[in-house]
């Protein structure tokens, strides 16, 4: 079946300016970290991508190591792009990253000029693209001078392989240094991608201030804490959940009685607002406008629909914020 995008795709999505740039990002973006690799069902991933775009999600976020196996998420997205999305390329923001392990030897990870430029070339080939919109350094490199890493991002942008440069997982101090170096090079950092959720608030301790001062946007990953901030764990650990698997970022040990108690109390507030717990969590990270976009993952179409519906109610009363704060600090 030939894909044709919905004519109503821009009717309800909210778009936020990214820092002090001219670029706007959808308030909800779709990440291909999980469920789009070579071990996953192609048609399910394709349906998720179609529905996301039809709902106004114009930003698709990847990395060279996404899969499994590594590289396969970019290959999968490239196939969908060629088959379905090619007419809409100029309506999309496509991002990728490099910094985690990809190939043997000293150049297959981290942040050297050699590694980043080679990674960018490989990612473009896997996706069948001439350029990506955003190319990120995926994680700080403790051994490579930051001037070299930022110089590599500058070179990638100047070569036309990317339109903007970004960083991910940088601390406040590291981000401040990167922003200054990149600005001096003439290729400013557009965006930072840190983790952030109701249960993981580290960016509030200085990083958000650094980004505001530098005019840099933010797109937060794991806003649902790997699915913990959903109704899935309100009554135990389902056998098909991430926490039930022996490997992964969300471990069974994280689903403590204390955490479940918080989830149930937050869910009560969500119900009062006419939202699911996941919708409440997304609205909360977007509160106040300091976060440009919340980056979601999805294993089925309904999860994308539920996430986008969170945008129907982004306003919080002072009482709601106080109640949430008391729960989170308890």
Give me the residue label for tokens 């056998």.
239
Predicted confidence at residue 254, as pLDDT, reads 74
Q: What pLDDT was estimated at residue 164?
A: 98
- How does pLDDT run across 139-177, given as a tens digit for each residue? 999 999 999 999 999 999 999 999 999 999 999 999 999
Q: How far is the C-alpha of 167 from the C-alpha of 277, rounded, in Å?
A: 29
pLDDT at 244 over 80: no
Rounded Cα distance, 203 and 217, in Å:
13
pLDDT bracket for residue 242 (50, 70, 90): low
pLDDT for the residue 116: 98
CA distance 199 to 262: 10
Query: What is the overall mean pLDDT for the chain?
Result: 95
Spans of all domains in the chain: 15-228+288-314
Contact 210, 228 (CB under 8 A): no
Q: How confident is the model at residue 235 (pLDDT cuts 50, 70, 90)?
A: confident
Which pLDDT band holds residue 253 (cuts at 50, 70, 90)?
A: low
Residue 245 has pLDDT above 90, yes or no: no
Question: For the domain with range 15-228+288-314, which CATH number is right: 3.40.190.10, 3.40.50.920, 3.20.20.100, 3.40.50.1100?
Answer: 3.20.20.100
pTM of the model: 0.95
Residues 84-98: tens digit of each pLDDT: 999 999 999 999 999
The pLDDT assigned to 328 comes to 97
Closest CA to 213 of 172, 270, 259: 172
Return the pLDDT at 145.
98
pLDDT at 233: 83
pLDDT band at residue 77 under the 50/70/90 scheme: very high
Instruction: Locate 264 and state its tokens.
Output: 């149930």
How many C-beta atoms lie closer than 10 Å to residue 13's C-beta? 15
% of the chain beyond a pLDDT of 90: 91
The model's confidence at residue 278, banded by pLDDT at 50, 70 and 90, is very high
Q: What are the angstrom distances between the C-alpha of 42 and each of 72, 75, 77, 150?
A: 11, 11, 10, 35
Q: Tell me what pLDDT residue 251 has.
A: 57
Q: Which of 25-29, 120-124, 158-162, 244-248 has the lowest mean pLDDT?
A: 244-248
């Amino acid at each position: 079946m030939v894909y044709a995008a919905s004519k109503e795709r821009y009717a309800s999505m909210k778009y936020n300016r990214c820092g002090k740039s001219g670029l706007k990002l959808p308030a909800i973006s779709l990440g291909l970290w999980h469920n789009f690799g070579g071990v996953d069902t192609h048609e399910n991933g394709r349906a998720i991508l179609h529905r996301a775009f039809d709902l106004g999600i114009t930003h698709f976020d990847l990395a060279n190591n996404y899969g499994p196996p590594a590289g396969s998420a970019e290959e999968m997205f490239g196939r969908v792009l060629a088959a379905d999305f090619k007419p809409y390329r100029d309506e999309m923001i496509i991002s990728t990253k490099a910094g985690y392990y990809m190939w043997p030897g000293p150049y297959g990870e981290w942040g050297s000029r050699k590694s980043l430029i080679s990674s960018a070339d490989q990612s473009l080939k896997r996706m069948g693209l001439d350029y990506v919109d955003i190319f990120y350094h995926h994680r700080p490199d403790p051994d490579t001078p930051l001037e070299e890493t930022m110089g590599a991002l500058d070179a990638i942008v100047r070569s036309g392989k990317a339109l903007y440069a970004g960083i991910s997982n940088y601390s406040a101090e590291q981000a401040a240094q990167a922003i200054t170096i990149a600005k001096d090079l003439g290729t400013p950092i557009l965006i930072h991608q840190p983790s952030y959720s109701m249960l993981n608030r580290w960016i509030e301790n200085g990083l958000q201030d650094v980004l505001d001062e530098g005019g840099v946007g933010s797109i937060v990953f794991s806003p649902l804490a790997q699915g913990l901030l959903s109704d899935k764990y309100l009554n135990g650990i389902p056998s098909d959940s991430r926490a039930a698997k022996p490997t992964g970022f969300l471990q069974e040990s994280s689903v403590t009685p204390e955490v479940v108690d918080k989830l149930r109390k937050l869910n009560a507030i969500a119900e009062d607002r006419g939202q699911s717990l996941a919708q409440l969590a997304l609205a909360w990270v977007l509160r106040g406008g300091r976060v440009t976009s919340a980056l979601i993952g999805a294993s089925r179409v309904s999860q994308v629909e539920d996430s986008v519906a969170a945008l129907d109610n982004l306003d919080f009363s002072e009482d709601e914020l106080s109640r949430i704060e008391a729960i989170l600090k308890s």
